[in-house]
Structure 1
Amino acid sequence: MGRPAARRTPPAAGDGGADRPAPLLTVDLNGAPHVLVSTCTGGGSSTILRTLTAQLLHHGAHALVLDIKRISQPWARQLPTVTYRADVADIHDALVGLVDELRRRIDVADRHGDDVGLLRLVVVFESGDATLRKLARHWETVRRPGDPMVSPAFTALTDVLFAGAMVRMHVLFDGDPTLSVLGPEGREQFSTAILDLRIYTCLACRAVFRSCMWCGVVGRAGIRSVPAG
């Protein structure tokens, strides 16, 4: 995919106040199909999601934008290749519907090969933590006797995280990677993360945190950091 334009970074402590151009950030969705964005409040997560999504749309992708706050990604509302959802019930239904699209794509790939030319489909989770909490409460409200305890929206998200890569379905998630609803198996599918505007990749297990919570490798020997702004 294309690269976000270089930005100017604030001067770092001890550099004499120099204004330095930020390095370009490139995300390879073929090698790292799902992206986690985790920043502090005001850290630019919405801008990062918008930048990545807009470039993917420019290159022919379609997007499902889940904007529980209604104000974080308004630019996507009227775009013809974007499905925009803000109500929790609509977000639930959209995620559940992804399972059918995932199965359809897998069937196409099985019959015609992985290089059949499927369009990329990007699922954009704005404020992912809040969205998942609201989805859990929504399911508690609408679940009927005999329905599964776990929200089918969570199951759909996990299915896309596991199997979406082979059929060009990707998740861009703004939130906390330690959310228990994803489980360790779901969390480790985010092989690329943008944390406080920096990428961290564990060289031992390809996890993506400053201190890898899965393989335990920490420190300079285990973590490669690439400034991204």
Structure 2
Amino acid sequence: MSPRHHLHESTLISYASGGLPTALSVVAAAHLEQCPACRQRLRDAEAIGAVLLEQTQPAVDEARHAQLRMAMLAQMDQADGGLAAPCVAARTVPSERPQANPDHLPAALHPYFGASLSELRWRWIAPGVYCIRAAQMPSLIMLKIAPGKCLPMHSHGQSELTQILRGSYNDALGLFAPGDVADLDEDVEHQPVTAPGVPCICVSALDAPLVFSGWLARKIQRFVKL
């Protein structure tokens, strides 16, 4: 799998720093599992960030620093009954998804949707369109859209990340196939049309509701809450 559409530089930097909203981070992690190019770009962003952070730190007295560290570890040992406290790691680069059963979902999605596409329980929201909303995070959704379906023209209230898992769609930005991510903001207006053959299945995270151009889509939006 060699994705052609990637995460924006600003999205990668926000992800690396932990500043990306949680739902968007989940979709970004799902893409990173499938995209070697973005994993390398993320490593580069983290390396640059580490250097910049080091350069902005004030000089410290090494002996005093070691003293404080030993005192902190002693307190932690005492609080835990002599057991060392686990170290909380910074955000890491997701591992590459192994080539396995195509029914398997990316690992980043497992806590919200499970591990398998075939076990998903879809909810009908419009002709040819089905949805699953993560119970823990309503702004994180899975969509299944029938082949050859033309979605309403819309833009975005803020940011949207959509990772294609199966099938594909076309819009003004090109063809989006499995592994591709659509990293969109409020300046993008588009009308996805799913390709013939198999349903298009994707996972999306929204910072704000979609902005539909047509009056009918706007009326339906109140019920489907997209």
Q: Same fold (TM over 0.5)?
A: no
Q: Which has the higher contact order (CA 8 A, sep 6+)?
A: 1
Which structure: larger Rg? 2
